[in-house]
Homo-oligomer: A and B are copies of this chain.
Amino acid sequence: MCAAYLQVSIVYNQYIMIKEFLEKNEDLTACPVRDIMDRVSDKWSLLILVVLDEYGTLRFHQISNLLSAISQKVLTSTLKTLEADGLIARQVYPEVPPRVEYSITAIGSSLIPAVKALTDWAEVHMPAIKASRAAFKKR
């Protein structure tokens, strides 16, 4: 049972979970890391947060234009999950034709600096990683 718990813990909670579990057998059922990782690392969520952070408030088709490679379906679903998580706000104006405006929330914009640590690391180390990949390939 303990083994099963460890296993589940590791799978679903990644970084914090395993560090703490390896030190002491704590109850870590609410560890959120994997969850957030999934959100941050899907194809478009972070990018939408960034454009909203940059531009302030945007309408649906404005985001669509800025990220012209995204399909409407994916944009819709991504916006919906971001809204559900409270990272962006959705304002509907009951007009004809309809108008919907999206903006980043306080919690959403607080995520951006956290991501910045990772992007900074990536900028610094990417040359080494590319070199390593090239060397590995021709082996």
Chain A residues within CB distance 8 Å of chain B:
3, 6-8, 10-11, 14-16, 18-19, 22, 30-33, 35-38, 40-41, 46-47, 50-51, 54, 66-69, 83-87, 107, 110-111, 113-123, 125-126, 128-133, 136-137
Contacts and interface: CB of A to CB of B under 8 A. Distances in A.
Contacts of A86: 128-129, 131-133, 136
Given A46-B14, A114-B117, A36 B122 contact: yes
A124 B11 CA distance: 20
A77 to B, nearest CB: 14
A36 B132 contact: no
Contacts of A84: 132-133, 136-137
28 contacts: A7-B68, A7-B69, A10-B67, A11-B69, A15-B46, A15-B47, A16-B119, A19-B54, A31-B123, A32-B122, A32-B123, A32-B130, A36-B119, A36-B121, A36-B122, A37-B41, A37-B118, A40-B41, A83-B136, A84-B132, A85-B132, A86-B132, A86-B133, A87-B129, A107-B125, A107-B128, A107-B129, A118-B118
